[in-house]
Structure 1
């Protein structure tokens, strides 16, 4: 269940992330897990993204297609479901709030291994993904704002 604005955002950003992963194996974190991110809008799912990490030797898969993520699983991985309201998502992605603080204040809901979710945040920091996200948001303000302002 995703809105057209979020689909448009995914069609633009996911290939960019894919290209960065192809260019730099250093961006492959040494974390194993399937992270399912649900961004909600007024508590209703607006979009779902899947981030499959299987260690430093297997290329990460980041997609908005469940079938693609599940087909890429090699071996056993833990699943962590993370839910965040769209109004809080940008703050989380850009570092305005830490994952643990967002969790403790109820802005982020986590089902599954909380420590694994924390490891993901550490990996994101090491990869410099926060800076990349900020740059993307600055370059694509209209698209991001359109997604945030869209109705389900």
Structure 2
């Protein structure tokens, strides 16, 4: 799983779990999630050392997570700290509240950004079943 992780980022563990969950999806689950989301998310996460990690969640074509920038271009880019992403993924922080307080910045399709929480929940529930 080291190919998807960055050292020094708590988000790496969550992203790796998401990657693992997507890998266990049946074709129908993949198609359902692609149909429901229909977008490409680029996550730009910075840690306390001011380093940046970039991941792409593709739920437009093939339900995958990759390390690095989106190719083709992301529909929405989400920029946040490692702590903010961890809180969003755990459900301790609402995405809308994070955005309104400046903890989360977006570029691109803001409405698609609202679907990230649902994507993280789907993966979390899939992980719990493994």
The alignment's TM-score, normalised by the length of structure 2, stands at 0.69
Q: Alpha carbons of 1:46 and 1:116: their partners in 2 closer, same or farther (altered >3 Å)?
A: same
Please give the root-mean-square deviation of Cα atoms over the aligned residues, in Å: 3.3
Q: Alpha carbons of 1:79 and 1:43: their partners in 2 closer, same or farther (altered >3 Å)?
A: farther
| Per-residue deviation, residues 101-145 of structure 1 (Å, max 9, x unmatched) | 110011111111211211x236427x6334457x5xxxxxxxxxx
| Displacement of 1:60 | 1.5
> Could you say which residue in structure 2 is the equivalent of 1:85?
81
Question: Aligned to 2:86, what secondary structure does the other structure show?
Answer: helix
| Per-residue deviation, residues 68-95 of structure 1 (Å, max 9, x unmatched) | x51xx5xxx7621101111222111111
Equivalenced residue count is 121
Candidates 106, 123, 127, aligned match of 1:129: 123
**Any unmatched runs of 5+ in structure 2?**
none
Indicate whether 1:48 and 2:54 are aligned: yes
> Could you say which residue in structure 2 is the equivalent of 1:60?
63
Distance 1:65 1:97 in 2: 25
> Could you say which residue in structure 2 is the equivalent of 1:30?
36
Q: Alpha carbons of 1:132 and 1:5: their partners in 2 closer, same or farther (altered >3 Å)?
A: farther
> Could you say which residue in structure 1 is the equivalent of 2:107?
111
| Displacement of 1:37 | 0.3
| Displacement of 1:28 | 3.5
Q: Alpha carbons of 1:131 and 1:111: their partners in 2 closer, same or farther (altered >3 Å)?
A: same
The alignment's TM-score, normalised by the length of structure 1, stands at 0.61
> Could you say which residue in structure 1 is the equivalent of 2:45?
39
| Displacement of 1:29 | 4.5
Candidates 86, 95, 102, aligned match of 1:99: 95
Distance 2:110 2:16 in 1: 30
